[in-house]
A and B are shown apart, each in its own frame.
Chain A
Amino acid sequence: MMWRKRKSPVAEPDPAAPTAGVVSRRRVLTAFAPLAGTAATARLLAGQSLGFSTPPAHAAEMPGMGSHGGGVGMGFRGGSVNHVANGFDPSQLLRDFDWGTTTQLADGRVLREWNISAYDKDIEIAPGISFPAWTYNGRIPGPTLRCREGERLRINFVNGSSHPHSMHFHGLHPAFMDGSPGLGDGQPLIQSGDRFVYEFDATPFGFHLYHCHVMPLALHLAKGLYGGFIIDPAQGRPEADELIMVMNGFNTNFDGRGNQIYAVNTVGFAYQEAPIKVKRGELVRIYLANMLEFDPINSFHIHGNFFNYYPTGTSLQPSEYTDTVSQVQGQRGILELRFPYPGRFLFHAHKTEFAELGWLGLFEVEE
């Protein structure tokens, strides 16, 4: 139980200040109040205790964003998530790739090693809402393990959780390294307090996943035991600003019928609160995966842009040039794009229900 006191509302914006640059979410909300509802709504939003103090007249200062029909006006009520207490910040997790540590094997190959521990942790997934999660290394998604094609990989797994877990990697490997216990071929169920070493070759190149594969599967995934696993092609990929985005959701009341909160990288509306800053014209590469439990499909849509899509990242030729892509659970791909214009651009699930329940963010393109 976390009965954390929410932060006091942000300082009131100066009505005289220019609107260019950073616009607080509250201002955006206030700006949209007249569009979202009636004058009464605007007054309510503008006047009362939450600190919505900008007069509705300022709506006129936010041209261009109304095209989304009030979409930017969505979001959580009050405050922001305590990323420090969570132990990870979605804004940093976004560009955090874990290359592990390397040593040289006798045959000259690289041996890449990671230490992963599973443990239970409460994570604030929306302002004021705590989720009793199961994590790899205390975060959701778990660390994005990154390596190069052909390397030898070793994962030292410790289960510090109160429940048995495993690590199942997508890729090519022997059966006993598959991390899906219960098949009678010696794959261990890693009991609480036990450890196990997974070892296999990095192949094929692409964007893959790892996750727990212990029954009941839906629960172990919904609780947060998954992460990205990137195998770079031997020759590498072109230099880019690289981002990891794992689409997920949280069934906070554990009724197993859909999720209460949807997100990219766990915290709903995190990238609306803190837009992702990218450079105009620079190549941006997004490693996009869907680990959403309970809902059959998820999607990614970007505003004001198109991207090259590489399904599973296993081919160097894109399959499609599009602005919307859908993925079932476990599906993933690589998106490459450049932003031609400066400004703020939305990205969100084009399943609008998910968007309004947290899976929505902003790119902020700078010169």
Chain B
Amino acid sequence: MTEANPAARARPDWWGGQFPSWLLAIVPLAIIATGLVVFARLHAPGVPKRTGPPAEELAVERTVLRPGRIELTVRNDGPDPVRVVQITVNDAFVQFITDAPDAEVGRLRAEKLTIPYDWVEAHAYSIELLTPTGGTIDTNIPVATETPTAGPRFFAVMALLGLYVGIVPVFLGMLFLPWLRRIGEQWIRLLMAVTTGLLVWLAVDATLEGVKLAGQGPQAFGGPALVFFGAILAYLTLSGIDAWLRSRRGAVEGDSSPRLALLIAVGIGLHNLGEGLAIGSAYALGALPLGAFLVVGFVLQNTTEGLAIIVPFTQRPASVGRLMTLGAIAGAPAIVGAWLGGSAYNSSVAALLLGVGVGAVLQVIQQLVPTIRDRLGRALNPASLSGIATGMAILYLTGLLVSG
């Protein structure tokens, strides 16, 4: 009598009731898969191959200059296979060698083209790849300089750059800790707001940079979408880690500052990874205005990052070891990024990593919001608003120093 309509419950079991539920999922999957395979094997009956001529799209993923030769790694990010049959360098046909002569580059496949060429240091080169239809794919070498080989010297130079740009500034920023401990809670809240502003601008900056980078390379892997994919993935991952840390520690002690500091350090570390990538790849391309100016710019900018890490410790004790660890987490990825960027640069990977940095920073911003609330519980109060604006302005202005 409790069953108002017995038929409604019986209906789903009308067929298949005797089979296990996993089978009921597998059968339609198998039918879909078989159907697709048959359709593809029959060469899509009734569907024309394509309307119009083949789309020949190649993106130059990596350009390497070695003494007496230019190496291009091209990736096919169009729908049709592409073949490079001739190449001109500065309006002259040249010889070249491929991994697989006469082979077509299939969709998403890459091919290395080696051009024996007596290039001249600091000259510009315009390279044109010709396909069988006479289509052209252009690429440029704005300033020719030998691509650093990933040897000990290169790793040492990149490590030094990463040290200057990542670790040293972060540690310098941490030197403000004793001063921070003396000032009042209101000032701390303001500093937290400034940190939030810094991070907001880091997120904006990294998003723009990632979208720009992604737009330059092959689009086949999603282009700018990679930035957002990386960002969301990082945000979700860090939120998960945060929740796990809370459940593990929160039960024991109510102190959230170590967790907050760690998250800030991780967020900044991921951001510095992107920064290192940019520096390393620019160095590899010979496009890095190396020198004191660049380093000074990065030091000014990244010192504020060190400040952001220590703010949670203003009212809590923190061992030197812990602070050093946090500083390393925030700064050292710049070295790794520089190594990666200089030796195996790939714009799609760079865009994804920059996106990861954005997601991490956004997660940290979310963590910081409670710390800038005033006594009435408002996150957006006059002090926090002006702090956020100041933080953004600081990064914006110091960023001008670096990009100039």
Q: Are B68 and A38 in contact (CB under 8 A)?
A: yes
Q: Are B117 and A77 in contact (CB under 8 A)?
A: no
Q: Which of A39-47, A147-155, A204-212, A306-314 contacts B (4 or more CB under 8 A)?
A: A39-47
A281–B135 Cα distance when bound, in Å, is: 44
- Closest partner residue, chain A, to B92 (CB atom): A356
Proximity string of chain A (62-105) to chain B, C-beta cutoff 8 Å, 1 when within and 0 when not: 00000000000011111000000000000000000000000000
Chain B interface, DSSP helix/strand/loop, else mixed: loop
Q: Given A45-B116, A252-B130, A260-B130, answer yes or no on A78-B136 (Cβ-Cβ < 8 Å).
A: no
**Which of B83, B87, B88, B97 is close to A49, meaning CB atoms less than 8 Å apart?**
B97
Q: Are A33 and B116 in contact (CB under 8 A)?
A: yes
Q: Are B68 and A128 in contact (CB under 8 A)?
A: no
Proximity string of chain A (108-151) to chain B, C-beta cutoff 8 Å, 1 when within and 0 when not: 00000000000000000111111100000000000000000000
Q: Are B83 and A128 in contact (CB under 8 A)?
A: yes
A75–B92 Cα distance when bound, in Å, is: 8
* A260 partner residues in chain B, CB cutoff 8 A: 88, 128, 130, 134, 136
Proximity string of chain B (100-143) to chain A, C-beta cutoff 8 Å, 1 when within and 0 when not: 01100000000000101110000000001011111110000000
A38–B101 Cα distance when bound, in Å, is: 24
A228 at the interface (CB under 8 A from B): no
A49–B101 Cα distance when bound, in Å, is: 8
A328 at the interface (CB under 8 A from B): no
Instruction: Give the shortest distance, in Å, between A113 (CB) and chain B (any CB).
Output: 36
B259 at the interface (CB under 8 A from A): no
* A74 partner residues in chain B, CB cutoff 8 A: 92-94
**Which of A3, A39, A128, A353 is close to B86, meaning CB atoms less than 8 Å apart?**
A128
Proximity string of chain A (1-14) to chain B, C-beta cutoff 8 Å, 1 when within and 0 when not: 11101100000000
- Closest partner residue, chain B, to A353 (CB atom): B91
A-B contact count (CB 8 A): 110
A260–B87 Cα distance when bound, in Å, is: 10
Q: Are B114 and A44 in contact (CB under 8 A)?
A: yes
B294 at the interface (CB under 8 A from A): no
* B93 partner residues in chain A, CB cutoff 8 A: 74-77, 126, 268-269, 356-358
What count of chain A residues pass the 8 Å CB interface test? 40
A48–B69 Cα distance when bound, in Å, is: 14
Q: Are B92 and A353 in contact (CB under 8 A)?
A: yes
- Give A250-306 interface residues, CB cut-off 8 Å to B: 250, 252-253, 260, 268-269
* B131 partner residues in chain A, CB cutoff 8 A: 129
B240 at the interface (CB under 8 A from A): no
Q: Are A48 and B97 in contact (CB under 8 A)?
A: yes
Q: Are B133 and A130 in contact (CB under 8 A)?
A: yes
Instruction: Give the shortest distance, in Å, between B169 (CB) and chain A (any CB).
Output: 40
A337 at the interface (CB under 8 A from B): no
Proximity string of chain A (23-45) to chain B, C-beta cutoff 8 Å, 1 when within and 0 when not: 00000010001001111110011
* A358 partner residues in chain B, CB cutoff 8 A: 93
B85 at the interface (CB under 8 A from A): yes
A306–B68 Cα distance when bound, in Å, is: 37
Instruction: Give the shortest distance, in Å, between A60 (CB) and chain B (any CB).
Output: 19
B186 at the interface (CB under 8 A from A): no
A29–B66 Cα distance when bound, in Å, is: 20
A50 at the interface (CB under 8 A from B): yes
A78–B103 Cα distance when bound, in Å, is: 13
A126–B102 Cα distance when bound, in Å, is: 15
- Closest partner residue, chain A, to B91 (CB atom): A353
Q: Are B116 and A128 in contact (CB under 8 A)?
A: no
Most B CB atoms within 10 A — which of A44, A74, A75?
A44
A48–B93 Cα distance when bound, in Å, is: 19
B67 at the interface (CB under 8 A from A): yes
Q: Given A5-B102, A49-B101, A50-B101, answer yes or no on A130-B132 (Cβ-Cβ < 8 Å).
A: yes
**Which of B54, B117, B135 is close to A41, meaning CB atoms less than 8 Å apart?**
B117
B96 at the interface (CB under 8 A from A): yes
Sample (17) of A-B pairs whose CB atoms are under 8 Å apart: A1-B53, A6-B102, A38-B68, A40-B116, A44-B69, A44-B97, A45-B95, A49-B101, A74-B93, A77-B87, A129-B85, A129-B86, A252-B136, A253-B136, A260-B136, A268-B93, A269-B93
Interface residues of A (CB under 8 A from B): 1-3, 5-6, 29, 33, 36-41, 44-45, 48-50, 74-78, 125-131, 250, 252-253, 260, 268-269, 353, 356-358
| Sample of 8 further A-B pairs with CB below 8 A, known A37-B118, A130-B133 | A1-B53, A77-B85, A77-B86, A127-B85, A252-B134, A268-B93, A357-B88, A357-B92
| 5 closest Cβ pairs, A-B complex | A252-B134, A128-B85, A356-B92, A37-B118, A38-B68
